[in-house]
Amino acid sequence: MTATTTENTAAPAAAPTGPATATATGPAPATTATAAACPFTGAGAGTGAAAPGTPAGTAGAGAGPAGPEAAPVAGAVRAGERDGDQARDQAGERAGERAGRGAADRSAGFTERYLLSPAVNADPYPYLDALRDHDPVHWSAMHRAWLVTGHEQLTHCLRDPAVSADRVRPLMDAVPEGARDDAERAFGILSRWMVFNDPPRHRRLRQVFQDQFAARAINRYRGFVERATRAMAGRRAAPGRTGDLVADIARPLPALVFARWLGVPQADAPSFWYWNARVGDLVLGAAQEEREYRTSLQSLVNLEDYLAELVRRRREEPKDDLISAVLAGGRVGTSVSEEEFVGMLTQMAFAGGETTSNLIANTLLALLSRPDQLAAVREDPARLVPAAVEETMRFDGPSKMSIRIAAADLELDGRAVRAGDRLFLVTAAANRDPDRFADPGRFDVRRGTGGPLHLGFGFGAHFCVGAALARLVAVSAVDVLVRERPGLSLVDEPLSWQPSLLNRALTALPVRY
């Protein structure tokens, strides 16, 4: 199968916008948390059941139910806000309760900070570095979770079958009674997402899509991505013009590429992206009133119905897209059911663009704010543009952490983790662990050409199946812009970051093209 040569490079209509930003009156509720680094397999995504005693619906001030990525976090963080000084006073006691036999109480004397406070959200690294150096497996009374920040400890969690990605079923308990019927089908769809499954089902779902993410399959789209980038830059990024690189290119480009890859006709784009945006409100836990929550639930159902119909059409008339290729492989109906396949397509439809959008923006921010690194990349773009993308994944990647749940009692770095405990796997801290990376606080594009691998795309069985496509889109976009926009520079305006426990996403990137 070969790629077609007459692609429509128009930006999708009604492309989804990012999560809501913080208000001026204080930190945003935890429900603004967004998906983590790998939307495809759960590398950097996940959740667990709410902490014992956490009331349902405590997602945020005035918020409705939280989504799977944020709901269990939300109750914990809101509880930390509600308990205030009392929670902080109990930190040592809780750490002592959780400490493994013979383990020193490393939490004593450490001042915990709220991860969504404006200062930590804007620049999390000083606090995360201090936390990792002081206590790489830290019981947080404020967040009611284990904060795992050491590289060795985090990779252990990603290998340990007792650290589970299966976290949809407990969330039905947090759904308000009035929305339970509407939520049942929507959460059933989420339960078929690869990101919310452990082996062996995770492995079975992954294998169906594995071939379509191989380098030879993904590389067919390189020319399309480069043409789309140039088309967007030509329309929105005329030389000398000022603009927002996130809105102009970093957000719409991945949305366009993933729609093309899935085979969504341009005529269907407005409805398709509207449903995706509403699913984002649900899955990423945006604060919602009950009516909005019901709309999000229905949008996920609508998205599945649309994709089921698209699968039917592709059976009758195959095209050059993901759905047709997977159907041709013969696994649907044998390795996975039709229902599982369509459920997985809703994950692909929803999740593909967010991480890649953030990766493009964060890479360009890192380069444009360091003239020496940008000059090096422009001297050797073939080698150093891909390296810059990899270094960004380590240094300031699109995700700060993932969330898992302990499926059984386990010991981690001398600490006794109990079944049902949440674990925040803070990849942003592990990727700057000096025990793993030399001079980890320095952005160096040449580091990306070799040396230890970052954890931005996960590890082991949870390594992101979509990494090759995310890399291709990010590298192609950065390459076109650094080669063909020699005047590209930052505008002297303050930057703002989406308030999120999980994502590291700019709300805008003001530049001069």
Report whether 473 contacts 398 (CB < 8 A). Answer: no
Residues 117-149 pLDDT 10s: 999 999 999 999 999 999 999 999 999 999 999
Residues 280-315 pLDDT 10s: 777 765 556 888 888 999 999 999 999 999 999 999
Q: Confidence class of residue 464 from pLDDT cuts 50, 70 and 90?
A: confident
- Whole-number percent of the chain with pLDDT over 70: 76
What pLDDT sits at residue 286?
Answer: 57
Residues 223-261 pLDDT 10s: 999 999 999 988 887 888 999 999 999 999 998 998 899
What pLDDT sits at residue 158?
Answer: 93
Residues 180-204 pLDDT 10s: 877 989 999 999 998 888 889 988 9
Residue, of 174 and 356, whose pLDDT is higher: 356
Report whether 158 contacts 462 (CB < 8 A). Answer: yes
- pLDDT mean over 88-104: 45
Q: What's the rounded Cα separation, in Å, for the pair 128 and 419?
A: 25
Residue, of 150 and 453, whose pLDDT is higher: 150
Residues 316-370 pLDDT 10s: 999 999 999 999 999 999 999 999 999 999 988 877 778 899 999 999 999 999 9
Report whether 401 contacts 425 (CB < 8 A). Answer: yes
Domain range 30-512, its CATH number among 3.30.70.920, 3.60.15.10, 1.10.630.10, 1.10.10.1800: 1.10.630.10
- Cβ-based burial of 304 (10 A; exposed 0-12, middle 13-18, buried ≥19): buried
123: phi then psi, degrees, rounded to nearest 5: -145, 90
Q: What's the rounded Cα separation, in Å, for the pair 219 and 36?
A: 24
User: Rounded to two decimals, what is the model's pTM?
Assistant: 0.79
Rounded mean pLDDT of the chain?
Answer: 80
Q: Which residues of 480-510 are buried (b: 16+ CB within 10 A; e: fewer)?
A: bbbeebeebebeeeeeebbbbbbbbbbbbbb
